[in-house]
Amino acid sequence: MVEKVCLTIAGSDSGGGAGIQGDLKTFEALGVFGASVVTAVTAQNTEGVSDVHCVPAASVRKQLEAVVSDLRPAAIKVGMLPDREVAEAVVAFFGVKAAEGALPPIILDPVLVATCGDRLSAVTGATFAELAPFVTLLTPNIPEALVLSGLTPDPASNPRAVDSEPALAVDPALVVDSALVDEMGRRLCGVWQAVLMKGGHWENGDAVEDRLYVGGVMAASWRSPKLRTRCTHGTGCALSSAVAAKLASGWELEASVAAARRYVYGAIAHGLQRLGGGQQGVLAHSWNRLERAVPRPTPAELAPFTALAVAHAGEIWTGYVDHPVCRAIADGNVCHRRFRRYLVQDLAYLGHYLRAHALLLYKQRKPTPQSLAGPLRNIAAILSEIRQHRDRLRQGAKENKENDYENEEEEDQENKGEDEWESESLVTTAYSRYLLDVAATGSELELRVAMYSCLYGYGVMGKHMFERATSQRTLGTDIVDQWLATYSGCEYWEAVLAAQRELEALIQASPPSPRDLAQLLQIFKQTTKYEIEFFNQAA
């Protein structure tokens, strides 16, 4: 697989718990290759920060050029920018790359104050705002959010706007209320694309709540039980780096934040409390290497890989199983001629799908009767699907299509293009070639995942369509409703569950590393994209 690269632009932490060191540990733990641009060298340990040396802006610029021109990072995390000159160098570099269309997602952790309360940067909120056009997500702590939003808590902890930038609050025990957090999040969204308001400094009972604001509204929130621990040094660095790592791996923003929170929560829970003599312990960045990349099944989640894959695909998965064509099929108003176009292409694809299953048999290094049974069962089912498709196409040719056209001119236009869609379309060719490429070059597990989004997606889609259809009408006997009955039926769903059990068991028997898991999730996501394009042929 192609190695994903994440770049951190930040200061060095000589104690190893935060900054560049913490970022690189996070990248490694989450399966991406880490590169770095050092903006400052600090003298710090578990007791605090004793010195900050700014790296000259010219050196920062040369580091950026060297790394980006060669390694081409898939995501960038920006942390400590110690002075205006360094900040302006970074802004200028981003501007050039944005103009070239070569700027990846950027996460900005506006490091102004360390978790222990020590001031780390002389950069003002106005200077940080120059980065806003390039930043995908801003992740301030509460003191930093106060600076950047221009708000300050009054004695009653209610939001109050001020005319000038407030003095940076450096009290690590600072506590604000929910209303101020919400006001800061909304106000910051007036400048930044998205803002993650972290809950470490605001009062919320026995829980920690983080809120994601996008477009001025709260898009998502997460609550976790508070951990009674002092191992919090470098939490902001780890969180922003973890989001960058997930974005680099192809995850959507909301899913990336959720995964990053889980990672940091575990790093705090497994923290090294007895390291050093200071009041703060450090994170256990590699804690997830002690855990499985794919959790074990539980009564609440019998298919953990499936859950991860669907979460990783995010809105793309929703766009597949709730495709407009599927809704039209359920409502009984899909165009039959266009649906026949889809069936012709699906018939062509099933031939390639059958070849992929044959290769799945070949890829088994130590086949047993049990391991061969699943693919052979699927091959028999695919042959049955092919026969059904052919029968439906013959039936469809006899059905009256008059209601599919508003006028004769539209019918003539459809008939003119009929010869084109009787042959394999470019979408069908692209999808099947991707599948066969995975079959030829990938592992058995990668091939199973490549075929899984189709099988599992049709099962989920069939259940959704059946529920929608039967709530408003009675299914008929035309080719569309026959197709719907097949993929919403118990026989097909049993086949889906059987394939799911085999896939989940294979993953549990040989747990993938975080890097291998990222590849599997990307394959699932890519085939889901192809499924959407496939259904677009019937639109």
Catalytic residue among 79, 185, 234, 374: 234
Note the pLDDT of residue 395. 83
How many Cα neighbours within 13 Å face the side chain of 373? 8
Tell me: do 75 and 152 sit in the same domain: yes
Whether residue 416 lies inside any domain: the answer is no
Catalytic residue among 4, 77, 198, 246: 198
Whether residue 437 lies inside any domain: the answer is yes
Q: pLDDT tens for residues 196-205?
A: 998 876 666 6
Whether residue 291 lies inside any domain: the answer is no
236 an active-site residue? yes
Tell me: do 265 and 340 sit in the same domain: no
Note the pLDDT of residue 436. 95
Last residue of a domain, one of 213, 245, 270: 270
Tell me: do 258 and 312 sit in the same domain: no
Tell me: do 167 and 315 sit in the same domain: no
- Token pair listed for 345: 């292409």
Report the CATH number that the domain containing residue 123 is assigned in CATH.
3.40.1190.20
Asked whether the beta carbons of 182 and 218 are under 8 A apart, the reply is yes
Burial 447-463 (b: 16+ CB within 10 A, else e): bbbbbbbbbbbbbbbbb
Whether residue 289 lies inside any domain: the answer is no
Domain count, the chain: 2
Whether residue 382 lies inside any domain: the answer is yes
4 an active-site residue? no
Tell me: do 89 and 229 sit in the same domain: yes
Q: pLDDT tens for residues 281-323?
A: 788 888 877 667 788 787 778 899 999 999 999 999 999 999 9
Q: pLDDT tens for residues 452-509?
A: 999 999 999 999 999 999 988 888 888 899 999 999 999 999 999 999 999 999 888 7
Tell me: do 110 and 175 sit in the same domain: yes
Note the pLDDT of residue 224. 86
Tell me: do 309 and 265 sit in the same domain: no
- Mean pLDDT by runs of 10 across the 539 residues of the chain is 86 93 95 95 86 94 96 96 92 96 94 58 74 95 84 55 43 68 91 91 74 94 85 90 95 93 88 74 81 78 93 94 94 89 92 91 80 85 89 75 45 43 84 95 93 95 92 87 92 93 88 86 96 91
198 an active-site residue? yes
Whether residue 290 lies inside any domain: the answer is no
Tell me: do 309 and 266 sit in the same domain: no
DSSP-derived secondary structure for 400-446:
--GGG-SSHHHHHHHHHTHHHHHSPPHHHHHHHHHHHHHHHHS-HHH
Tell me: do 157 and 17 sit in the same domain: yes
Report the CATH number that the domain containing residue 457 is assigned in CATH.
1.20.910.10
Tell me: do 90 and 195 sit in the same domain: yes
**pTM of full prediction above 0.85:** no
97 an active-site residue? no
Asked whether the beta carbons of 156 and 119 are under 8 A apart, the reply is no
232 an active-site residue? yes
What sign does the CA torsion over 513, 518, 524, 526 have?
negative
Catalytic residue among 8, 115, 232, 527: 232
Tell me: do 134 and 241 sit in the same domain: yes
How many Cα neighbours within 13 Å face the side chain of 197? 32
- Give the residues across from 49 on adjacent strands: 44
Note the pLDDT of residue 539. 80
Asked whether the beta carbons of 235 and 271 are under 8 A apart, the reply is no
235 an active-site residue? yes
Torsion angle in degrees (nearest 10) through CA of 115, 120, 125, 130: -110
Tell me: do 313 and 231 sit in the same domain: no
Note the pLDDT of residue 261. 93
- Token pair listed for 414: 């459809």
Note the pLDDT of residue 450. 96
- Domain encompassing residue 374: 304-399+422-537
Whether residue 405 lies inside any domain: the answer is no
Note the pLDDT of residue 242. 97
Rounded-to-integer distance, Cα 247 and Cα 106, Å: 9
- Token pair listed for 528: 């889901």
Catalytic residue among 236, 281, 314, 442: 236
Asked whether the beta carbons of 447 and 359 are under 8 A apart, the reply is yes
Whether residue 35 lies inside any domain: the answer is yes
